[in-house]
Amino acid sequence: MKLIRTTHKLHFYIDDYTLKVTPEQLSTLRERLKDFSMTPVPLFHFNPSDNTYESVCALASEDESLQISFPGNEFMVAYICEDTSEFLALTSRVIGYVCEIFSMEKGCQIEISQSLIFRSSEVHIANFYKVNAFTWGNNVTERKVLDNSKEDIVAITTIRKLPLNTPSYYSFVDANEQQGEVSHKDKLIILNVQSKTSSKKTSKRFIVNDCYGIYRELCDSNAELIGKFHSMCSCR
């Protein structure tokens, strides 16, 4: 399988209030991250309480590799890169700015997810299902306890198979990849892993800029899930 793209996301939930973001605050955040050439972008967040979409304050880098948004009662950092350490270093930097600019100190839940997009042949896909389906999905949810922090977490693995000619393929890859040779037997495999602390604990126990250890543990949990995926791919 060929890895096309890896996207990391951090969700930090505040829970009891919606973050009110002013243009002045966004401008300050843009200035702090000027090496990424951040600009405001339109973004909408689905509110399940009333089944509506609401406009969200968001910034994206010029090359779209970095996005910071404030949907509802959380803030989210998304970054496209293969190296988890690079993502954590950038996230720590962004969190420091967010704490300073928005006077935010604690939250009640943390989630880190990673999405990996692969281009694969049917040989690898046969390790998952023995049926000739042109699309399928698989979802596994586990409960775990982190070794160091002893936090109860939920770890979720989702795997999807899509035709290579799906419109979303062209949003996943760069121009060079699009111009490469494509076999009709090749498919897209989308692996999404996420590890998140329990939503049942509603106390504000996470200090936003002092949770690097938990961020690291959640990433390690995801790495374990990704390792299981690769083991499945090489089992034949």
**Model confidence at 119: pLDDT above 80:** yes
Residue 8 or residue 135, greater confidence: 8
State mean pLDDT over 25-32. 93
- Alpha-helix residue ranges (DSSP H) falling in 4-75: 23-32
Q: Check pLDDT > 60 for residue 123.
A: no
Cα torsion for 191, 51, 56, 74, to the nearest 10°?
-70
Instruction: Specify the higher pLDDT residue, 236 or 106.
Output: 106
Compute the average pLDDT of residues 223-235.
83
How far apart CA 221 and CA 111 sit, in angstroms, is 11
Question: What DSSP designation does 166 have?
Answer: -
| Among 50-59, 66-75, 127-136, 208-217, the least confident range | 127-136
Element at 212 (helix H, strand E): helix 212-233
Q: Which pLDDT does position 170 carry in this prediction?
A: 52
User: pLDDT at position 205, please?
Assistant: 80
pLDDT score recorded for residue 152: 94
Mean pLDDT for all residues in the chain:
82
pLDDT tens-digit profile of 30-79? 999 999 999 999 888 777 677 788 788 899 999 989 999 988 788 899 99
Q: Which residues of 108-146 are buried (b: 16+ CB within 10 A; e: fewer)?
A: bbbbbbbbbbbbbeeebbeeeeeeeeeeeeeeeeeeeeb
End-to-end CA distance of the chain: 14
- The answer, yes or no, to whether residue 129 has pLDDT greater than 50, is yes
pTM of the predicted structure, to 2 decimals: 0.85
What is the pairing mode between strands 187-197 and 74-80?
unpaired
Closest CA to 111 of 204, 202, 215: 215
Tokens of 33: 């991250």
Span 144-198, pLDDT tens digits: 999 999 999 999 999 888 777 665 555 555 544 544 555 556 778 889 999 999 8
Q: Please compute the mean of the pLDDT values over residues 81-97 and round it to a whole number.
A: 93
Instruction: Please provide residue 9's backbone torsions phi and psi, each rounded to the nearest 5 degrees.
Output: -135, 140
Q: What is the pLDDT of residues 6-20, one digit of tens each?
A: 999 999 988 655 677
Q: Which pLDDT score, from 0 to 100, does residue 236 have?
A: 43
Q: Are 77 and 91 in contact (CB under 8 A)?
A: yes
Number of structural domains (the chain) is: 1
Domain that holds residue 37: 2-233
Split at pLDDT 50, 70, 90, the class of 223 is very high
